[in-house]
């Protein structure tokens, strides 16, 4: 178990400076652009900030998750594919859990963290 964790951490650090490092900037940037767009739309429609609404209003959390997936699902899939390519080039093997973690961090996490603050920003600007 400890060996797997050590390998996992070494492989994650290697992605920052290794081949295809451009994706470490481009994929979060795309997720931020989509969060910006969706947060602005939420503010125009008078909706609650995304994270707040997702965790406090369970009546339409499925709808919110599907909406988020429509926005960043392609970026997530692209992150998975690019990480698989990276792993085959550098590590010469494919570790699916690593690919999922990297795709989550690069594509979904920035979107989920920033959509609500963008909503608040645009609401303050309007008000």
| The model's pTM | 0.80
Q: What percent of the chain has pLDDT over 90?
A: 40
For residue 127, is pLDDT > 70?
A: no
Q: Where are the domains of the chain?
A: 2-126
The DSSP result for 98-119, as a single string, is HHHHHHIIIIIHHHHHHHHHHH
Count Cβ atoms within 10 A of the Cβ of residue 115 and give its class: 0-12 exposed, 13-18 middle, 19 or more buried.
buried
Q: What b-and-e string marks burial along 64-103, b requiring 16 or more CB atoms within 10 Å of the CB?
A: beeebeebbeebbebbbebbbebbeeeeeeebeebbeebb
Each residue's pLDDT tens digit, 7-62:
878 877 778 887 888 888 888 999 999 999 999 998 999 888 777 777 777 777 78
Q: Which residue has better confidence, 50 or 117?
A: 117
């Amino acid at each position: 178990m400890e060996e797997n964790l050590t390998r996992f951490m070494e492989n994650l650090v290697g992605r920052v400076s290794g081949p295809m490092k451009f994706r470490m900037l481009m994929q979060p940037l795309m997720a931020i652009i989509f969060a910006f767009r969706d947060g602005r739309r939420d503010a125009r429609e008078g909706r609650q900030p995304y994270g707040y609404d997702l965790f406090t209003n369970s009546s339409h959390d499925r709808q919110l998750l599907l909406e988020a997936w429509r926005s960043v699902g392609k970026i997530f899939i692209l992150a998975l594919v690019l990480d698989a390519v990276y792993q085959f080039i550098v590590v010469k093997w494919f570790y699916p859990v690593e690919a999922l973690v990297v795709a989550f961090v690069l594509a979904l996490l920035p979107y989920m963290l920033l959509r609500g603050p963008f909503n608040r920003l645009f609401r303050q600007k309007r008000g």
